Structure 1
Amino acid sequence: MKTVTITDVAKHANVSKSTVSQYLNKRFDYMGEKTRERIAVAIKELGYQPNIVARSLKQKSTSTIGVIVANILHAFSTQVIRAIEDYCHESDFHIIVCNADDNPDKEKKYIEMLLAKQVDGLIVFPTGDNVELYEKMVKDQFPIVFVDRTVDSVNVPAIVLDNEKASSLAVSHLAEKGYERIGIITPSLIKGVTARMGRINGFRQSVKEQNLPIIEDFIKSVEINEVQSTLEKMMTLPVPPQAILAGNDRVLMEILKYTKANSINIPNDLAIIGIDDVSFASIYSPALTVVSQPAFEMGKQAATLILSFIQKKEEKTLVYTFEPTLISRESC
């Protein structure tokens, strides 16, 4: 079959090639309604498909954003991705989503692959271990935005939660409820993920401000597959915790599995608060108290920023910090 070209469409619609080009690029300012209709009919009747590659080469843009998440299993990650996709779609940009699994090598491969595909910008939930690569993109003035985490010494705009406040809201709420022995479990701090470190630091500071004891046996950062055994050690101490803060949604899931398997009553035996408002929190029995992140607002801000950088608009703010919200339910 002969490939239908823009010239064929122009002849069929009795207009110039430049008019068809303006139509395809949605530049309708000086185009009459009847002309638009004729071009639309011509495209449909001829079965014309624009050559995306050729257009990208001509415009020096692929209208594509790469999004590399640290771990796509997090509810927060999927919500942010949805917000980015919604906003980019409105601006006729597409996204390619990659899952790094908190693995620096995997992240590096994805960055290199997306750059080879000539994406116009990157939104990254950084592992933090590819500093040289991040710095090269900054030096080359390649549009890049971090989400959820910052990386020391790398001058990249970041969209983050006030993680210290997230822990503080939870500890203050538990203290108001009369709990004194409070613990926290987060994913491992070995990789230096700033969000996790902020939640631990905020927890310690808030416990101190509430004049409660800081019990080191109740403060743990471990791999996800170690959460249940870690909680088991806490609960079998001579004096176990009365309440626990789950550092993210995956930790919360492991804690709930443990409490169910061991017939631990929530909140009578153990009060629980999770950071991240998981989809089942309000229908779980008992309904779960959580500290919610404004994931959709954060995703929209990330998309707004990256498109602004691509369009060469100046942005001076380096870190955009969003406020958490405590949603009180029945688990404490």
Structure 2
Amino acid sequence: MKRVTMADVAERANVSKSTVSQFLNQRYEFMGVKTKQRIEKAIEELGYQPNMVARSLKQKSSTTIGVIVANISHEFSTRIIQVIEHSLHQLNYHVIVCNAEDNPEKEKKYIDMLLAKQVDGLIIFPTSTNVNVYNELNVQDFPLVFIDRFVPEVEVPTIMLDNKQALCLAVEELNRNGYKRVGILTNSTIFNVAPRVERIEGFKQACRKFGLPIEENFIRGVETGKMTETLKDIFQSHEPPEALVAGNDLVLMEILKYARDHRLRIPQDLAIIAVDDVSFSSIYNPAITTIAQPIEKMGEKASEILIEKIIGKKNAEKDIIRFPAALVSRSSC
């Protein structure tokens, strides 16, 4: 079948091609209601589909944003992507989401692919190691925003939780409830992933602040596949921890599975606080005390800054923007 063109729509609606173009680009200022209705009817009757590639080349804009997630398994990631997608949709931008699975090589491939598709900007949850790639985007003045992780060698606006304040809230709650032997378990810190490192540092600082002993054996950053082995080692201690902070939702699930398999009662045998207020926290028995991130505000801010960079706003943010956490007190500690 012959492809329906803009000229066909113009002929059917009895208007010029430039009027159809103005309609498609939502420039209605000098367009009458009846003209709009004729164009809408012509598009519907002919089944016209705009050539988005041609339009993006002509306008130098694809109205498409790429989002690269370090690991989409985290509920935090999926929830903040929803916010970003909604915010950008309101501004008539489309979103392509890619999952790097904490793999720097995969992340780089996705960056190359999205650039080839001429996306207008990128929001990245960085794996942290592709420093040269990030800096090259900066040199080209390509619109870029980081979420959840900052990369010290790269000057990019970054949306983050105030991780040290978050851990201070957790340790303060454990101390208030009388726990003395406390620890934290998070994912591997081998690549110096910012939130993991900061949460461990924040945990230690808070222990000092509240006069709690720092037991290095109870402070671990390990790969997900080694969580069970690590927990077994921790609980073989002469005096095992009374409470653990889970550095994120995936770690929380590993701790809960270990507690179930070893018949540890929560909170009688082990108190738990988790960073990220995951959806099952309130319905788990007992309900899990969590440290909540303001996900909606963070996602909206990331979208806002990226759009400011795309339109060339001079005073667009360049720094790390940290959002405060909130304690959601429940029954697990």
TM over 0.5: yes
Quote the Cα distance in structure 2 between the aligned partners of 1:219 and 1:154: 29
The alignment's TM-score, normalised by the length of structure 2, stands at: 0.98
Number of residue-to-residue matches in the alignment: 332
Q: Which residue of 2 aligns with 1:308?
A: 308
Which aligned pairs between 1:166-181 and structure 2 lie closer than 5 A? 166-181=166-181
The residue that corresponds to 1:273 in the other structure is 273
1:273 and 1:291 in contact (8 A); partners too = yes
Matches within 5 A, 1:58-207: 58-207=58-207
The answer to whether the 8 A contact 2:305-2:317 is kept is no
Aligned to 1:220: 220
1-structure distance, mates of 2:219, 2:29: 62
Q: CA deviation at 1:251?
A: 0.3
Are 1:211 and 2:219 an aligned pair? no
Aligned to 2:324: 323
Residue matched to 2:240: 240
Identity over aligned pairs, percent? 55
Partner of 2:277, secondary structure, is coil
For 2:184 and 2:109, the matched residues in 1 are separated by 34
Q: Alpha-carbon deviation of 1:328? A: 0.2
Q: Is the 8 A contact 2:156 2:318 kept in 1?
A: no
Secondary structure in structure 2 of the residue aligned to 1:119: coil
Q: How far apart are 1:275 and its partner, in Å?
A: 0.3
Q: Secondary structure at the match of 1:221?
A: strand
Partner of 1:249: 249
Secondary structure of the 2:122 match is: strand
Q: Amino acid of the residue matched to residue 75 of structure 1? A: E
What secondary structure sits across from 2:79 in the alignment?
helix
* Alpha-carbon distance in 1 for matches of 2:302, 2:53: 26
* 1:82 and 1:296 in contact (8 A); partners too: no
Report the Cα distance in structure 1 between the residues aligned to 2:116 and 2:18, rounded to whole angstroms: 30
Contact 1:85–1:95 (CA under 8 A) maintained in structure 2: yes
5+ residue gaps, structure 2: none
Shift of 1:277: 0.8
Deviates more, 1:38-47 or 1:267-276: 38-47
TM-score w.r.t. the length of structure 1 is 0.98
Q: Deviations over 1:255-312 (max 9, x none)?
A: 0000011111000000000001111000000000000111222111111111111111
Aligned partner letter, 1:290: T
Residue segments in structure 1 that go unaligned for 5+ positions in a row: none
Contact 1:171 1:203 in 2 (8 A): yes
Shift of 1:38: 0.9
Over aligned residue pairs, what C-alpha RMSD do you find? Answer: 0.9
Q: Secondary structure at the match of 1:321?
A: strand
CA distance in 2 between partners of 1:37 and 1:58 (Å): 26
1:317 Cα deviation after fit: 4.2
Stretch deviating more after TM superposition (88-97 or 313-322): 313-322
Q: Whole-Å Cα distance in 2 between the matches of residues 37 and 56 of structure 1? A: 25
Following superposition, the deviation at residue 102 of structure 1 comes to 1.1
